[in-house]
Each structure stands twice: as structure tokens, then as C-alpha cells.
């Protein structure tokens, strides 16, 4: 084993902000950070639907805390599969966003039907209202999304695979051979051992358990324990690849 002493850190790697139309408006940058710190999370990924515009604000809000923020995005593929992109650098998340924005369904967000999409600053002030149809699917196919994430040095995670809707297993029924996913995520409704017992595909990949929080009370309701040297993206990447003793810890 190389490096320093390894320790268990708590990670919630699927959290929405007030930018996601289905999230509550109190999912502001500082509220997210405050709640995550109260629940002793070490690592949190911001993963709004088809956008990363609030990533930098959450990072700035966490600046004087021990909480580490991972820039992310939850992309809806043309097959209506949700894929999380987790990046080391905010610029890579924004680059992924630019690709996604160019492939979104045409039309504007219906605030009465889907909810308002707020771009906020680190002090929770409204910077802008995003009018794109972020709730919709893109024209990017599943393999194109995964490849684009990797081209930006990101980690590609299939979201909430145990759910019927918007999951790779729910939509396709299988994981295409050769699809280079870094991990699968399961929802709060299932444990990793239950997922492995129910889905053969869950025995082939590292499993993350995330909250998919859309409101403050959901943040950290479930989380993943990682055995790593410290809370950061590079250590997460090593844990998913089981490198140098890093790994995802599962309940016995």
C-alpha cells in the first residue's frame, strides 16, 4: 500500500441544487453545505439535471469548511438513462454542460409544470433563472455520454440502477457490453447486498449508495463509505478502481 494512512470517509455523490427543476428552492449552495456538514459528510457531489451552473457556487460556499465538493452533472441520454459525470475540475463539468446544452430538447422550461431553475451564488442570491428544458432528455446516446465524460477525465456512474424509471437497467434491461462505466449507483431504497442479490449486473461493478437529494432533509440520508487517504476526487477514482488499497466499503 502506497501513501499515507487510509481512513473511511462519508460520501454522498448525487445531490441536486435549486437549479434542478424538481428540487426544492431551499437547496441553495450554503444550505446544502450547512446540512452536509451537520451530517458529517466528507465528500459531496453536485449533480444537477443536464447542467453544472451551480457547481462553482457550492464549492465557494464550502471554502471554509472541511467538506469537499466534487463538480458533477446528471445527464439524461437519448434512451432516457441518467448518467452521473463526476469531475476533478469545475471546468471539465462546465465543458460537459456545454456539450449537453447543445443537445437538449428544444423549448423552454415550464415553471408551473416542472419547477423554477435557479442559478445562485455562494451567498444564495439569485444570479439568473435558467430557462432551458433541463428536465428533458438530450440527443446524446448512452455510449456518447459515457465517452464524453471520460474525454473530460471524469468518472461515469449509472444512476439509481434499481429504479424502474431513468435507470440503465429499467430502460434497457442490461448494461451494454464494453460500456466503460466506473460504477453503478443504487438508491436509498436498497442496500448493496440486496442489489447484488437482485441484479446480476450489480455484481460486476463497484456500487455507490447516494441520496439523490432534492431537498435538504434528504442530504446524507444514505451515503457511501470509502476507504481512502483523504476526501477528494483522485482518491474516489482510486477507490472505484481498487487501487493502492483504496476501495468502497460495504456493510457486512
Percent of the chain at pLDDT > 90 equals 96
In this prediction, residues 44-71 reach a mean pLDDT of 98
Q: How far apart are CA 43 and CA 232, in angstroms?
A: 7
Q: Is 171 exposed, middle or buried (0-12, 13-18, 19+ CB in 10 A)?
A: middle
State the pTM of this model.
0.96
Dihedral sign for Cα 241, 243, 249, 250, please: positive
> Does the pLDDT at position 16 exceed 70?
yes
Q: Among 54, 147, 59, 144, which Cα is nearest to 73's?
A: 54
Residue 194 is predicted with a pLDDT of 94
Domain 7-249: CATH class, spelled out: alpha beta
For residue 23, give the DSSP letter.
Answer: S
Sequence-ordered list of residues with C-beta below 8 angstroms from that of 121, at least 6 positions apart, any chain: 29, 57, 60, 127
Sequence-ordered list of residues with C-beta below 8 angstroms from that of 248, at least 6 positions apart, any chain: 183, 206, 207, 208, 224, 225, 226, 227, 239, 240
Residue 251 is predicted with a pLDDT of 67
Contact 196, 184 (CB under 8 A): no
Length of the chain: 252
In this prediction, residues 42-53 reach a mean pLDDT of 98
pLDDT digits (tens, 9 = 90+) for 92-135: 999 999 999 999 999 999 999 999 999 999 999 999 999 999 99
Residue 1 is predicted with a pLDDT of 41
Residue 252 is predicted with a pLDDT of 42
Amino acid at each position: 500500500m502506497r501513501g499515507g494512512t487510509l481512513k473511511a470517509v462519508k460520501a454522498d455523490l448525487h445531490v441536486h441544487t435549486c437549479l434542478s427543476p424538481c428540487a426544492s428552492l431551499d437547496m441553495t449552495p450554503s444550505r446544502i453545505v450547512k446540512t452536509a456538514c451537520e451530517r458529517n459528510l466528507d465528500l459531496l457531489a453536485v449533480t444537477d439535471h443536464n447542467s453544472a451552473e451551480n457547481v462553482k457556487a457550492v464549492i465557494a460556499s464550502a471554502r471554509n469548511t472541511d467538506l469537499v465538493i466534487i463538480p458533477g452533472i446528471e445527464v439524461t441520454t437519448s434512451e432516457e438513462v441518467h448518467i452521473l459525470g463526476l469531475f476533478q475540475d469545475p471546468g471539465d463539468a462546465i465543458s460537459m454542460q456545454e456539450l449537453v446544452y447543445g443537445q437538449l430538447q428544444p423549448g423552454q422550461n415550464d415553471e408551473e409544470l416542472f419547477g423554477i431553475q435557479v442559478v445562485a451564488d455562494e451567498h444564495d442570491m439569485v444570479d439568473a433563472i435558467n430557462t432551458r428544458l433541463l428536465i428533458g432528455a438530450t440527443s446524446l446516446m448512452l455510449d456518447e455520454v459515457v465517452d464524453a465524460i471520460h474525454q473530460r477525465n471524469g468518472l461515469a456512474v449509472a444512476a439509481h440502477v434499481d429504479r424502474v424509471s431513468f435507470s440503465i437497467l429499467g430502460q434497457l434491461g442490461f448494461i451494454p457490453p464494453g460500456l466503460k462505466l466506473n460504477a453503478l449507483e443504487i438508491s436509498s431504497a436498497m442496500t448493496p447486498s440486496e442489489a447484488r442479490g437482485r441484479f446480476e449486473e450489480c455484481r460486476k461493478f463497484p456500487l455507490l449508495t447516494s441520496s439523490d437529494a432534492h431537498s435538504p432533509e434528504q442530504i446524507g440520508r444514505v451515503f457511501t463509505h470509502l476507504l481512502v487517504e483523504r476526501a477528494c476526487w483522485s482518491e474516489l477514482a482510486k477507490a472505484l478502481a481498487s487501487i493502492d488499497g483504496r476501495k468502497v466499503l460495504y456493510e457486512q
